[in-house]
A and B are shown apart, each in its own frame.
Chain A
Amino acid sequence: MAVFGSSEELERVMVALWGRIAADPQMSEQLIRSKLVVQFRYRDPEGILTVDCSNGQGITVIWGSGPNKPIVEMSMKADVAHDFWCGRVSVPVAILTGKIASKGPTPKALALLPVIRPAFALYPDVLREVGSKATVSG
């Protein structure tokens, strides 16, 4: 059974989590400096999240596609995304074993993984705040 019961639940979780990341100067500073546009394409349930840092001023989090073409695209089951935020997924391994599909200069995005690692600790709170039934132990 999928971790997220609906696309709406997935949207609430991911938008809230990235909103917290965008609001945290410790995490957002380096993301903004990267000027990357990264798009996450989820399935089971479906959803698209675009994180746009292209203007070098701030982070725009969009549920769906934004005006700017993504530089890196990563596609995965929503369950894999959940496991990632629970700290249980190595992205390079997930790519090599086919759990994540990627387009574009993936290492550019991977280089930012240590930057967003503090968000792992925020994830349980975000799940609770948005009323998700998902838990980090599941």
Chain B
Amino acid sequence: MEPFSFHAPTKITFGDDTAGSACDVIKEFGGKKTLIISDANLIKAGLLTPVLDGFAAGEVPEPVIFDQVPPDSDVHCVNNVAALARESGCDSLVAIGGGSVMDTAKVANICLTYGGDMLEYQGLNNLPSKLRPLVAIPTTAGTGSEVSLVAMIKDAAEGRKLLFGSVFLAPDAAILDPGLIRSLPPRLTAATGLDALTHAIEAHAALGSPSPFVEALALEAMRLIFKHLPRATSNGDDLEARSATLIASTMAGVAFTNAGVGIVHALAHATGARFGTHHGMTNAVFLPHGMEFNLDAAMNRYASAARFLGIITGGEDRAAAQELVGAVRSLTSRCKLPATLRELGVPPSEDSELEELAVVASTDPAIMFNPKESSLEDIIDIYKRAY
């Protein structure tokens, strides 16, 4: 067996009504005064109430709330969060929201802990030491940011995405409370679920640091998503299905943060940056096409997944791998997600525009871990097939 390393530093708490334990968890990690980071819609929907009730009963200073995180957070927002934390004397953070909220909290924690300019720490493995206590409470089941070692933030002024990655960036604790995702609309449930499935499938085949740990997490995440996502999408009150997809998303998050993702994410990032498409839906469109591109390089990985999922028993690896691709298409269709970029609302592009998009995708960090090398022509070909 090849040598590997595996990081899973985040304590995970799961259960209905566990969001109220955030105060106890942050105290466990040494936090005394906490900044809660969220967005206004979640507050309006009452999702912060159990967290605040927990703090009220926790005999700690009243937490400070930042509720202005936008859907695609940026440097400006991160700086505002860090400034509020410093001005209020906060020494710890609780993030409650989707990927944008959690990534904002993770990067703000860099600023809060070290001071200075966040750009000094941008990139991979540039954080010198442990950060302040951070608890993440996801309100979608897709990004895996509650356990991942990476965060992405938009630098609107420079027109780029900043990537931060370090073992110190993972939250100290994640609280998975399925009640918090009960009100997620069907389309978003499906899209975030397909994001998690893409994490699991790409991690299972990625070059990063494959190991039995990654394999176990990725395969079980796939199984839970294939089994429960249609139910969670069609009936949001199905707490068993909600729980399964939430757990699967976190498992896939641990898997991809150790093994990497691949060309599907690279294309989704480039397309999302250009056309503003939803990340999960864009992943859903590209996933079968990316898998077909990788089929030769990842055939045994896809085949093992197809057999584990019971999609096929025995047979040749190629046939089994193709069955997995078919199962992904079928799941996307059952969840009523767009199957093409055109359905997603992406306008037609000139060849020169496609080349520009391919250049962006080819320099996306996700592509480093793809199991097969790709040329600009390959990337354009996948895009055209997905269109």
Contacts and interface: CB of A to CB of B under 8 A. Distances in A.
Interface in B108-142: 122-126
Nearest to B368: A92
Contacts of B124: 95, 100-103, 106
* Most chain A C-beta atoms within 10 Å of own C-beta, residue among B123, B208, B260: B123
Given A93-B207, A96-B208, A110-B368, A104 B123 contact: yes
B125 A92 contact: no
B364 interface: yes
Interface string B207-223: 11100000000000000
A75 B166 CA distance: 14
A107 interface: yes
B352 interface: no
Contacts of B369: 92, 96
Contact of B260 (A73, A92, A114): A92
Interface string A113-132: 01000000000000000000
A106 B368 contact: yes
Nearest to A113: B373
Nearest to A72: B123
Interface in B263-280: none
A101 B125 contact: yes
Nearest to A103: B123
Nearest to B259: A96
Given A106-B365, A106-B368, A107-B362, A98 B125 contact: yes
Contact of B363 (A90, A92, A96, A107): A107
Interface residues of A, number: 22
A97 interface: yes
Contacts of A111: 362-363
A121 to B, nearest CB: 21
A67 interface: no
A92 B366 CA distance: 10
Contact of A92 (B126, B208, B258, B362): B208
Interface residues of B, number: 22
A111 B125 CA distance: 20
Contacts of A97: 5, 209
Contacts of B259: 96
A69 interface: no
B26 interface: no
A138 interface: no
B209 A107 contact: no
Contacts of A108: 363
Contacts of A105: 363
Nearest to A90: B207
Given A101-B125, A103-B123, A105-B363, A95 B209 contact: no
A75 B120 CA distance: 14
Contacts of A100: 124-125
Contact of A107 (B122, B208, B367): B367
Contacts of B167: 98
A73 B365 CA distance: 14
B381 to A, nearest CB: 18
A104 B119 CA distance: 10
Contacts of A73: 123
A96 B126 contact: no
Contacts of A101: 123-126
Contacts of B363: 105, 107-108, 111
A92 B209 CA distance: 9
Nearest to A110: B368
A91 B363 CA distance: 15
A107 B365 contact: yes
A104 B207 CA distance: 21
A44 to B, nearest CB: 16
16 contacts: A90-B207, A91-B368, A92-B207, A95-B124, A95-B125, A96-B208, A96-B259, A98-B167, A102-B124, A103-B124, A104-B123, A107-B363, A107-B364, A107-B365, A108-B363, A110-B368
Interface of B: 5, 122-126, 166-167, 207-209, 258-260, 362-365, 367-369, 373
Given A91-B368, A105-B363, 6 more contacts: A92-B260, A92-B368, A97-B5, A103-B126, A104-B123, A111-B363
8 closest A-B pairs by CB: A103-B123, A101-B125, A92-B368, A96-B208, A107-B363, A105-B363, A97-B5, A102-B124
Interface of A: 73, 75, 90-93, 95-98, 100-108, 110-111, 114
